[in-house]
């Protein structure tokens, strides 16, 4: 699903005594509001002194012409700008994986009513099977889609990560990749590829984990959880770096509006809103960890040119930033740990929460949320044959002791019809 990230946020001008770097020498300024003037009582006595005075006068004239933002004698860039390459790389990787899945799908071999047969092996499954113009569910499952039964009973936990690189169709990948470019490139420019790359992967994992705990029927694919993680990190970044922004209230309201609209779209059927919610919560907490910025007034000594001094010596971060960092780290570790424990124990959180399924789909007169068919899967686990019955997102596991195939089928029909 598409998400708009065109939010204009500007950094406030620093206070008069913040981030002001002055040259060491005769007649240097003591504050940004009092520009340096050559000393009348102690004129320069050598050629070097005259050069320093001329440089000061030239810098003063230059900065007067630049106005309010040019008060310092040299330009100070508070944040480094990175060249984005990882997010475009992620987009290319997703497109390549989609093409591979279409090549493996090979619709003409398995169906006579493919869409776009002129594309050969890359033609799409019939519209009534996949209206998003993509491969079959079997192909996505082979490629690494999120299948809770295989994650739990066959120990294929890697599907929690592999599923975020798969997409159900052309419309699906187009919406997600456009959103990734709009949101991800701006974040990578501001914070670099390491932090944004880790945030993307962890948020995608968090979305897959929450999806697996609530939706245990069928398969799930898509990068929406990771995208919602980036959106959540933008909100937490605004909060943790609150003091450095000028139009902070407008940015906050805009972000909240975008989040609410996108989560509301997730209430439609066939949309995994649990992955969206899990990714958003993970990204929101990760933003306090990865996207923390120094406050104005702090200048790193390694960035000060030779022969200059700093008039302000403030700590790098404010106390509330450290508190948010610590609390977020604790919540992330506990959330991921307990989530994995519950998942591998076969817990379905829908059984513990009777209303939680409304967070992913709200039934109306126009559509029904009970579109998933009931089915049973028999799996041999720990030398025992277990029958897993899945119906409308809820699963039940029954132990089989020597039943025949016909008895298993009858039991499946009976259990899933309840």
Please say whether the beta carbons of 50 and 44 come within 8 A. Answer: yes
Contacts of 337 (CB under 8 A, 6+ apart): none
Please say whether the beta carbons of 103 and 112 come within 8 A. Answer: no
CA distance 10 to 241: 12
Which residues participate in catalysis according to the annotation? 224, 276
Tokens of 205: 């994992």
Please say whether the beta carbons of 168 and 125 come within 8 A. Answer: no
Question: Which own/partner pairs from 136-143 qualify as long-range (CB within 8 Å, at least 24 positions apart)?
Answer: 136/105, 136/107, 136/110, 137/218, 137/219, 139/101, 139/104, 139/105, 140/101, 140/166, 140/168, 140/219, 140/221, 141/219, 142/104, 143/97, 143/100, 143/101, 143/104
Instruction: Report which of 332, 320, 329 is spatially closest to residue 240, judged by C-alpha positions.
Output: 320
CA atoms within 13 A on the CB side of 90: 27
Q: Is 392 helix (H, G, I), strand (E, B) or coil?
A: coil
Please say whether the beta carbons of 82 and 188 come within 8 A. Answer: yes
CA distance 204 to 279: 6
* Residue 354 main-chain phi, psi, to 5 deg: -75, -15
């Amino acid at each position: 699903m598409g998400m708009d990230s065109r939010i204009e946020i500007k950094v406030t001008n620093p206070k008069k005594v913040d981030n002001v770097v002055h040259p060491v020498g005769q007649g240097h300024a003591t504050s940004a509001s009092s520009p340096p003037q050559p000393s009348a009582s102690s004129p320069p006595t050598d050629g070097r002194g005259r050069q320093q005075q001329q440089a000061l006068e030239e810098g003063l004239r230059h900065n007067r012409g630049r106005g309010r933002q040019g008060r310092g004698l040299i330009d100070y860039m508070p944040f480094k700008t990175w060249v984005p390459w990882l997010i475009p790389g992620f987009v290319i990787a997703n497109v390549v994986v989609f093409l591979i899945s279409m090549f493996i799908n090979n619709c003409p071999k398995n169906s006579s009513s493919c869409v776009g047969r002129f594309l050969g092996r890359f033609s799409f499954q019939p519209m009534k099977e996949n209206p998003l113009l993509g491969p079959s569910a079997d192909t996505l499952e082979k490629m690494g889609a999120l299948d809770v039964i295989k994650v739990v009973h066959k120990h294929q936990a890697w599907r929690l990560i592999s599923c975020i690189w798969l997409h159900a169709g052309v419309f699906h990948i187009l919406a997600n990749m456009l959103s990734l470019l709009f949101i991800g490139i701006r974040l990578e420019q501001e914070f670099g590829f390491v932090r944004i790359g880790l945030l993307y992967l962890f948020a995608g994992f968090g979305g897959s984990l929450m999806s697996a705990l609530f939706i245990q029927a069928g398969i799930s694919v898509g990068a929406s959880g990771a995208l919602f993680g980036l959106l959540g990190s933008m909100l937490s970044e605004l909060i943790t770096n609150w003091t450095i922004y000028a139009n902070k209230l407008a940015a906050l309201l805009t972000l909240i509006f975008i989040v609410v609209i996108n989560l509301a779209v997730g209430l439609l059927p066939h949309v995994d809103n649990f992955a969206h919610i899990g990714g958003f919560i993970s990204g929101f907490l990760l933003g306090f960890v990865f996207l923390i910025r120094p406050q104005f007034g702090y200048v790193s000594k390694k960035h000060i040119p030779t022969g200059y001094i700093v008039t302000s010596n403030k700590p790098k971060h404010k106390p509330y930033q450290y508190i948010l960092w610590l609390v977020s780290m604790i919540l992330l570790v506990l959330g991921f740990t307990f989530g994995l424990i519950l998942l591998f124990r076969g817990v379905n959180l829908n059984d513990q929460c009777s209303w939680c399924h409304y967070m992913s789909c709200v039934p109306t007169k126009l559509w029904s949320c009970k579109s998933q068919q009931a089915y049973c899967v028999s799996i041999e686990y720990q030398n025992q044959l277990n029958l897993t019955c899945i119906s409308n997102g809820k699963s039940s596991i029954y132990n089989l002791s020597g039943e025949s195939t016909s008895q298993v089928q009858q039991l499946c029909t009976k259990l899933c019809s309840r």
